[in-house]
Chain A
């Protein structure tokens, strides 16, 4: 490359060296700016101030301003803070400010906003999980398409340069190696990147990570966004650990999954009578997450678990609208003591056995996850998020010592 620039030490350097040095300086400045912005954000949280940095670009600009001395910290109103308007939706998008004279007692009541916000967040968990399921399904479809391209001998010929499936594999591997190398050369940058990722996760999932919105409606939108994110996170975490078979089923067993009613069971090789029986709506008692034989500890006077607890939606697995066959299969997989039963005479009589149908039971952790009704998973999920927030808080305390 032609041309040269005087380096800071006065020694001439090539344009390539100059370019690399500037890249390093910019990257270094970026890390410092992000760290400064995070510090400022932590101080603003502790001071109870509303600091809105919804995108990584906002974080960088704000941090750069601090480093350059053009942005005051923690005591000034935030650059685009919703001082009289709504808060954040899912901690990501700033909402439009509301006019001051529209403020109601609901907007001024932290208790009303807290109680209603919790309810809205819990209500958003299930649609959030559905969003996670949809995203997973799309990933599976894309994954299947990508895998088929890997084994297509004409893929390289028919794809644009650098866009063939195997090119993507090598590009991904190259990026991974570069990241690993950067982590070895700049260990602090890897630590900062990890911390930034945790902070981002915290903002997405932890309702306490951002201050409440000033208005009631804004707070409802913010809590709904966090709830959706939590639901999606719970689905992803669960399917990551135990969803492999289900995820595969979305593609390999797609045909069977699309079928409904008795056809679904016939496609799996069941005889007509049993398929018809399994296609009927489930009307049984469901699976008790706390078995009826469970006894309370002596400090709680022993005895069986009250039915209002064991039959509550938190401990009774009985999905709405599920078919008899789907419920029996789910029950078989999550209950090591459930194996089958009699087929009603109307469907030909006789018996069915999960073992004979080739069903497989989950292991202990799988039973814990799949046997838990959705509300219990949601409750456990918020507990996990709370624990995550505690860990993050601990990290902040360590840093401030």
Chain B
């Protein structure tokens, strides 16, 4: 199974990016993070409000499955598009590269919901190695 946890997409939601001359006061992506949190909540997951993460952008924390698995989502505003990461909040899973079924299920359902949402378009999914390499990505994050 191949997982592509990174999504590049465009959106017509406000970017919420605030600058003051040479300084960035607030990095953008808050509205997009809030919209994704709402989508995940509608899918039945327990989701936090967006949390500001400076230059990383905005994060939301998700509880999925039974027993609950911790997942998280990061949204970064990249001027002409958004970059989103959806992963497991577990350093053990990161270390050993394991994917819990609850994570794979949540990622698949989120991808389907984003594809059906008119506020998001030009959605492509990538692995870490594919990002900004000229690769075209995939329409689905989970490849069996």
Q: A342-B24, A346-B22, A353-B78 are contacts. A292–B55 as well, Cβ < 8 Å?
A: no
B76 touches A339 (CB 8 A): yes
Identify which of B17, B59, B132 gathers the most chain A CB atoms within 10 Å of its CB: B132
Q: Assess whether B70 is interfacial by the CB under 8 Å rule.
A: yes
With contact pairs A339-B131, A341-B76, A355-B131 given, residues A283 and B54 touching in the complex (Cβ less than 8 Å): no
The proximity string for B residues 100-141 relative to A, scoring 1 for CB distances below 8 Å and 0 otherwise, is 000000000000000000000000000010011100000000
Q: Which residues of B contact A345 (CB under 8 A)?
A: 19
B67 close to A (CB within 8 Å) = no
Q: Is the beta-carbon distance between B19 and A285 smaller than 8 angstroms?
A: no
Q: Which A residues lie within 8 Å of B22 (CB)?
A: 277, 280, 344, 346-347
Residue of B nearest to A328 (CB): B55
A319 smallest CB distance to B (angstroms)? 15
User: Residue of A at shortest CB range from B25?
Assistant: A283
- B21 near A: Cβ within 8 Å? yes
Interface presence of A8 (CB below 8 A): no
Please state if B78 and A285 are interface contacts (CB–CB under 8 Å). no
Contact A292 B59 (CB under 8 A): yes
CB contact list, B63-83 vs A, under 8 A: 70, 72, 74, 76-80, 83
B residues contacting the other copy or chain, number (CB 8 A):
33
Contact with B along A341-376 (1 / 0, CB 8 A): 111111101110101100000001000000000000
With A and B bound together, what is the CA distance between A338 and B57 in angstroms?
9
Residues of B within 8 A of A292 (CB): 51, 53, 59
- Please, how many residues of chain A have a CB less than 8 angstroms from a CB on the other chain? 31
Measured CB to CB, the closest approach of chain B to A318, in angstroms, equals: 10
* Residue B9 interfacial (CB < 8 Å): no
Known A292-B51, A337-B85; contact A353-B27, beta-carbon cutoff 8 A = no
Q: Is there a chain B Cβ closer than 8 Å to A243's Cβ?
A: no
Instruction: List, in ascending order, chain B residues with CB within 8 A of A335's CB.
Output: 56
Q: A295-B89, A356-B132 are in contact. Are A343 and B79 (CB under 8 A)?
A: yes
In contact, B95 and A342 (Cβ under 8 angstroms)? no
Contact call B79/A293, Cβ cutoff below 8 A: no
- Contact across chains for A293 and B89 when beta carbons are under 8 A apart: yes
In the complex, what residues of B have CB within 8 A of residue A277's CB?
Answer: 22
Candidate in A286, A341, A346, A364 with the most chain B CB atoms within 10 angstroms:
A341
Closest to A353 in B: B132
CA–CA, A334 and B120, complex, Å = 30
**Shortest beta-carbon distance from B27 to chain A in Å:** 7
Q: Which residues of B contact A346 (CB under 8 A)?
A: 19, 21-22
Closest chain A CB from B112 CB (angstroms): 23
Q: Is the CB of B132 within 8 A of A355?
A: yes
Write the B20-37 contact mask toward A (1 if CB under 8 angstroms, else 0): 011110011000000000
From B17, B21, B74, B133, contact of A337 by CB (8 A):
B74
Task: Say yes or no for A113: interface residue by CB 8 A criterion.
Answer: no
Q: How far is the CA of A335 from the CA of B61 in the complex (A)?
A: 18
The listed residue (B24, B70, B74, B131) touching A344 by CB distance below 8 A is B24
Q: Which residues of B contact A347 (CB under 8 A)?
A: 22
| CA gap between A351 and B74 in the complex, in Å | 18
- Quick check: is A222 within 8 A (CB to CB) of the other chain? no
Q: Lowest 7 CB-CB distances: which A-B pairs, in order?
A: A285-B54, A355-B132, A351-B79, A342-B79, A351-B78, A353-B132, A344-B19
